[in-house]
Amino acid sequence: MNSTHMSAMKAEKPTHAATDLIGAISVADFLSSYSIGRTSFYKEVAAGRITIKKIGRRTLIPRAAAEAWLNSLKG
């Protein structure tokens, strides 16, 4: 193998966006963990209060976004 091919085979360093998703949770896990219904969840997303990331058809919520949402609630 030539050096160009070998360098292409090396694992690339994760991007900032990829590292944001380490520890991200699924919608189902978010609903269960934070005791919120699916309709209310999507209303919060539409209002911009919960940040989601899409990977294909899968929707994930970064842990930092979940915690920020929880901390923003009045209570």
Residues in CB range of 20: below 8 A, 6 or more apart: 53, 62, 64
Place 26 in a pLDDT band, splitting at 50, 70 and 90.
very high
Q: What is the C-alpha to C-alpha distance for residues 16 and 56, in angstroms, rounded to an integer?
A: 18
How would you class 62 by CB atoms within 10 Å of its CB: exposed for 0-12, middle for 13-18, buried for 19 or more?
buried
Tens of pLDDT, residues 27-64: 999 999 999 999 999 999 999 999 999 999 999 999 99
Domain ranges of the chain: 24-75
What six digits make up the tokens of 41? 């969840």
Place 16 in a pLDDT band, splitting at 50, 70 and 90.
low
